[in-house]
């Protein structure tokens, strides 16, 4: 199991969290998604290796901003 954490800006409520969860759940290999608008973070558990860029692109496609880590 691979755990990926992504910082996200723009989630302001539970509805936003659900949009992110639903979008990421459609990606092959994603087992579980947890999103928190309070801390601005999404955690993905994947049963196989998934490119971080694919996950980030899906988040941005639905209107949220991924905070790039240095």
Q: How many separate domains does the chain show? A: 1
CA distance 27 to 52: 12
* pLDDT at residue 70 is higher than 70: no
Structural domain boundaries enclosing 49: 2-66
Q: What pTM did the predictor assign?
A: 0.93
- Using CA atoms, how far residue 43 sits from 17, 28, 38, 67, in Å, is 11, 16, 13, 14
Give the model confidence (pLDDT) of 8-66 as tens digits.
999 999 999 999 999 999 999 999 999 999 999 999 999 999 999 999 999 999 999 99
CATH of the domain at 33: 3.30.70.100
């Amino acid at each position: 199991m691979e755990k990926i954490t992504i910082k996200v800006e723009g989630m302001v409520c539970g509805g936003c969290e659900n949009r992110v969860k639903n979008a990421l759940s459609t990606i092959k290999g994603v087992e579980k998604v947890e999103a928190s608008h309070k801390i601005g973070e999404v955690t993905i558990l994947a049963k196989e290796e998934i490119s971080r860029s694919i996950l980030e692109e899906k988040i941005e496609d639905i209107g949220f901003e991924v905070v790039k880590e240095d």
